[in-house]
Amino acid sequence: MFHINIKQSEGAKYAIMPGDPGRAELIAKYLDDARPLACNREFNSYAGTLDGERVIVMSTGIGGPSAAIALEELWRCGLEYSGCQDGRHFKGICADRISCGC
């Protein structure tokens, strides 16, 4: 995808999306087999597994427009559930075993 700099094949069903790139790195440490995925502007991403499910942790930077870009591009890569740090969830639901840890 253009802005987040990941391939469609690298997507995941679940994503954790904090705003701060530093927080994304901290959250990724809680995943099994975590590794850096991509880094482009405010979009720093990591991939790993949690309870056997592939998860992407991606920072969104400041504000709604960059969060919308990240969400839309992750959606095109197979995203179905996402949690954000203020407790609101996209698509109306979030995997109960995945939280942003904030």
Which amino acid type is present at position 21?
P
Q: Which pLDDT score, from 0 to 100, does residue 39 have?
A: 95
DSSP class of residue 59 equals -
Distance CA(81)–CA(26), nearest Å, equals 20
8 Å CB contact between 15 and 55: yes
- What is the pLDDT, as a whole number, of residue 64? 86
Rounded Cα distance between 78 and 8, Å, is 8
Buried-exposed string 26-63: b where 16+ CB fall within 10 A, e elsewhere: ebbeebeebeebbeeebbbbbbbebeeebbbbbbbbee
Percent of the chain beyond pLDDT 90?
A: 60
pLDDT at 101: 43
**Confidence (pTM):** 0.79
The pLDDT tens digits for 55-95 are 999 999 988 889 889 989 998 999 887 655 444 444 433 33
